[in-house]
Structure 1
């Protein structure tokens, strides 16, 4: 009887120790933010055009623009596909054209460079601080940051710095702080595309100059920017 009990206990303990202990699988919990915002930094590059040019004024070479800033997203519907946004940014625009700007900042003089004078050229540039106010539509979800978008709105700008350079064969005239420039500018814009890279267009609703005259005609030129805008979360 003792031998039987000893064998029985030995077999029981052997089966217990031979069982493999398997730790339960731990699945990490992923927190889903259904109240996401599309707060974004943006960078844009553009080709700059001048519309409403006085007779005889033409653009030459490549006129470029650069802008950067930050936008705060404010969704207005439950799915967060419709929103408003505002923020702050800076824009640098450069324009190459054949309108010579001479004189002084307080009394600038404007003339058309003759087409036969290849040694003469003129350009002016502006640096502005911008406050955009935009309406946003996108088909985004809280699971992905890649989506189609259409953003449109109004951009209000204040002129921080301006500079014009007229170069001729015999002289070079540089004017800063030209009183004839509009200090306050505004225009409409639209940006559309997918994910990071989007097409961008801006049209100035008021003139770049407020009081400039050339050949008895008011300089009513407005800015058009066409390019690409990149959104970075």
Structure 2
């Protein structure tokens, strides 16, 4: 939690100092906005199987660059296309363990007293595409914004960690995670503080991941804050 608070204040301070510097620059009639972004989210699991629950903090860290391309004369409506990185963790009670055949079993841990930690994490390279509306102009660096978008993500790494009373298990590169994930996003706010939500349109796991013969069709819902920098 201390790390989360530190990152929030670091980003706020960086944006404040950056805004102070750009106030002294000459007016640019071809200005662009919000080229860099960084965000913090709390990650939820939507459409969970019965008895699957979350515990603790499931956090996401997001940052990248977006090419801002205004499409009107006032330059307050734009299309944004970018490239970014996202790291996400999910603390929950779905144990993933390798069996004797080398494949993976998926089991819901119903007795919380038998383990102290259970999570999976994934890392993505992302391609965000946004339709952007804002109240900005060439001299005002504090404005309202509403950015709606679509995001395509490619998983470059994943891992799980289980710490039980009698054993500890760690696995990497589990093949049942969907390598390609995609979803819709919405960001709205004023100046530094912007509410952000992302909803994945396809499941976290492929159809090969099953609990008692049933596919695990849950998907990701991320809610948090997004910070933009010129």
Pairwise TM-score range, normalised by the shorter structure? 0.7 to 0.9
After superposition, give the CA deviation of every residue in 1:182-216 in whole Å (9 maximum; x if it has no partner).
00000100001011220100000000000210122
TM-score normalized with structure 2 length: 0.85
Where does residue 213 of structure 2 map in the other structure? 216
Pairing partner for 2:85 from 90, 93, 99: 90
TM-fit CA distance, 1:106: 5.7
Length-normalised TM-score, structure 1: 0.84
Q: Distance in 2 between matches of 1:126 and 1:177?
A: 10
CA distance in 2, matches of 1:39, 1:94: 26
Q: Distance in 1 between matches of 2:177 and 2:193?
A: 32
Deviations 1:15-47 (A, max 9, x none): xxxxxxxxxxxxxxx853211111421110010
**Number of matched pairs:** 204
Q: Which residue of 1 aligns with 2:71?
A: 76
State yes or no: 1:225 paired with 2:225: no
> Does the alignment pair 1:178 with 2:147?
no
Cα RMSD of the aligned pairs, angstroms, is: 1.6
Given that 1:208 and 1:221 are in contact with CA atoms closer than 8 Å, whether structure 2 keeps it comes out as yes
SS at match of 2:113: coil
- For the Cα contact (< 8 Å) 1:101–1:122, is it kept in 2? no
Structure with the greater alpha carbon radius of gyration: 1
C-alpha distance after superposition, 1:122-173 (max 9, x if no partner) = 1000010000000000011111111100001001000000000122111111
- Does the CA contact (< 8 Å) of 1:106 and 1:178 recur in 2? no
Q: Do the aligned residues in 1 keep the contact of 2:51 with 2:110 (CA within 8 Å)?
A: no
Who is 1:14 aligned against? Answer: none
1:65-99, Cα deviation, whole Å (9 max, x unpaired):
10000111000000111100011110000000001
Question: Once superposed, which parts of structure 1, at least 4 consecutive aligned residues long, lie more than 3 Å away?
Answer: none
Contact 1:113/1:120 (<8 A) preserved:
no
Matched, 1:62 2:57: yes
Structure 1 residue 116, shift from structure 2 partner: 5.0
Contact 1:44 1:230 in 2 (8 A): yes
Query: 1:117 offset after TM fit, Å?
Result: 3.0
Gaps spanning 5+ residues in structure 2: where? 1-24
Which runs of 5 or more structure 1 residues have no equivalent in the other structure? 1-29
- C-alpha contact 2:34 2:228 (8 A) present in aligned 1: no
Structure 1 pair 31–94 and aligned structure 2 pair: CA distance change class (3 A): closer
Q: Describe the SS at the equivalent of 1:143.
A: coil
Structure 2 CA distance, aligned partners of 1:198 and 1:141?
18
